[in-house]
Structure 1
Amino acid sequence: MSTKTSLSHRNQEPENSVLYLVGTPIGNLDDISLRAIKILKNVSLIACEDTRQTIKLMNKLGIKNKLISFNDHNSCKKIPKLINDLKEGKSIALVSDAGMPIICDPGEDLVKNVKSNGIDVICIPGPSAALTALVSSGMASSSFNFEGFLPKKKNEREKILFKICESEKTTVLFESPHRLNRLLEELKEFCGGDREIQVSRELTKKFEENIYDNIYGLIETFRGREIIGEITVVIKARNKLKNSKINEFVLKKELNELITAGLSLSAASSYLAKKKNLKKSIIYNLH
């Protein structure tokens, strides 16, 4: 079913039967918009990832409203009720613990279901850790890849790491502080230690830190250091003109995958040699 959002009554927000996706601060409360405050004050109810986190924000802003929990564990049960509330004319705000909802947070299924029922969805834009880190990195930002949190399963994780290694676009991802050192070692293995990256920590908060260096340098920077706070990593695109150093780890991985898929060593080596513009013997001898 198609939906249409009218812009003629935005001064009367919140409107009935509208789901509002409200961006909230990722750290500094001064980043909350006046429009976001107005929506949070006046909607019929607020669906939040964790009511304990959202109530802290509400108390600091002096806002009182009805909060309900909406997360990965209860979304299947809550979606029908929220859609029914919207059909009855209620206005609902969806927020995450911090930043823009939907991005690496629950809520995607709710939006899909709401729109399939012909109900308006309006975004009240706010801070995004991914974009904040990207624009401060100085890396190419007109086109980029966002990977969120990398998968925990080894095979799935390695596929994304290989994609990052080969990408000719800047990559942005999230990582937890206790896994940052592991990620840096993985990036060194896949991308080479001279790849430039930025690690951003505690964005918009008092102890915000943006450290730009190559992977070797950042491994040393964080070695033996207690790491706290939310982490956003920005990784520079592969330099397609730089062929002086061959990433043997990645080449060997690709070679083994082709052989596992059924190609002979010779055929797989020939294919990769043509693809990478290298001598066949270089790749053949990796096996």
Structure 2
Amino acid sequence: MGAQLFVVATPIGHLDDISYRAINVLKSVNIIAAEDTRTSAQLLKHFNIQTPLTACHDHNESNKITQLIQRLQNGEDMALISDAGTPLISDPGFKLVRAAQEHNIRVIPVPGACAAIAALSAVGLPSDRFSFEGFLPSKQSQRLLALHKLKDETQTMIIYEAPHRIVACLKDMAEVFGAERPVGFAREITKTFETIKKMTLGELAVFVESDHNQQKGEIVLVIGGAAEEKDLEQEKLDQLLTRLLQDLSVKAASQLAADLTGIKKKVAYQRALELTQHNEES
């Protein structure tokens, strides 16, 4: 069997999150291609892994691929790691993995921590369909353009954001998606000052801007899709109509609900009829 390229996930904070398999692979390969050798050296030292490191990051990956592929073709097993989490997920490694596939070198994933999936699992937003959008553009004009393209997406969206841009980003999201759009906020996952919240974009923008500590560290935003926002609006309408129907007729309750929410009276009337029928049946 020829040499193999292992794509190895490493902890995103808590070192105990590394797998036994990941440790064994990192110890057994001939060389480890790392995003930052200084950062990875600390991880290897902690687990007494003495495998040599070589740098493979955004600035040198294209130029280094030939050398790394040559080593693989010469029979050296190699592991690819990033500073934290799963390589290629907003981290370097794609070009190396693609080149390995093109040269018929077996690529083996060693799964583990991923900030995007960890955040999605904990914030309580729909997870049956989601998209990973990575980092938004740093310039506001380009960021607003990107957000407008995502505005009507119905699946949950996962976005990474830098701490020095988080306040501006949240304000732009609230402006484009609406302040009532639900959002999960996951900061410093698995670390000492881990913060996981779920609220609306408007509330989160205020929360983060008012607490400078929330503007530090690794941040993941999980934004509810457009359908989720509609579900919340429907839930609020149902709550209002249910309360009004306790004291008013269907016609009066739907008229008042339409006046208070701005929705069409016909829509409110139809929903009031449905709620009344449901209550009678139950």
TM-score for the superposition, normalised by structure 1: 0.77
Q: CA deviation at 1:16?
A: 4.7
Give ranges in structure 1 of 5+ residues lacking alignment. 1-14, 245-277, 279-287
Quote the Cα distance in structure 1 between the aligned partners of 2:30 and 2:2.
9
The aligned counterpart of 1:136 is 122
SS at match of 1:118: coil
Show the counterpart of 2:109. Answer: 123
Q: 1:243, CA displacement in angstroms?
A: 11
Is contact 2:34-2:55 (8 Å) kept? yes
Aligned counterpart, 1:8: none
CA contact (8 A) 2:125 2:184 kept: no
Shift of 1:135: 1.1
Q: Where does 1:57-72 land on structure 2 (aligned, <5 Å)?
A: 57-72=43-58
Decide which structure has the larger Cα Rg and report it: 2
Matched, 1:173 2:197: no
Inter-partner Cα distance in structure 2 for 1:179 and 1:229: 12
Distance, in Å, in 1 between the alignment partners of 2:166 and 2:72 is 41
C-alpha distance in structure 1 between counterparts of 2:139 and 2:165, whole Å: 14
Aligned to 1:234: 222
Give the total of aligned pairs.
232
Q: Give the match for residue 26 of structure 2.
A: 40
Cα offsets for 1:112-142 (capped at 9, x unmatched): 1111011100000010000000011111111
- Alpha-carbon deviations, 1:170-197, whole Å to 9, x = none? 0001001111101110011101111110
Q: Could you say if the C-alpha distance between residues 16 and 62 of structure 1 is closer, same or farther in structure 2, counting changes exceeding 3 Å?
A: farther
C-alpha spacing 1:53/1:132, structure 2 compared with 1 (3 Å): same
Aligned to 1:85: 71
> Which one has a larger percent helix, Structure 1 or Structure 2?
2
Partner of 1:275: none
Output the aligned Cα RMSD: 2.0
What's the offset of the Cα at 1:153? 4.2
Give ranges in structure 2 of 5+ residues lacking alignment: 234-263, 265-282
- 1:230-262 Cα shifts (integer Å, max 9, x gaps): 000000111374798xxxxxxxxxxxxxxxxxx
Matched, 1:222 2:205: no
Q: TM-score, normalised by structure 2?
A: 0.78
Residue identity opposite 2:152 in structure 1: E
How many angstroms apart in 1 are the aligned matches of 2:218 and 2:61? Answer: 25
Q: CA deviation at 1:207?
A: 1.5
Do structure 1's residue 100 and structure 2's residue 62 form an aligned pair?
no
Q: Distance in 1 between matches of 2:46 and 2:206?
A: 39
- How many angstroms does 1:152 deviate by? 2.4
The CA deviation string for residues 133-166 of structure 1, in whole angstroms up to 9 with x for no partner, is 0011111111101100012245542332113321
Task: Measure the CA separation in 1 of the matches of 2:100 and 2:139.
Answer: 32
Distance in 2 of aligned mates of 1:94 and 1:160: 31
Q: CA deviation at 1:224?
A: 3.5
Distance 1:125 1:16 in 2: 22
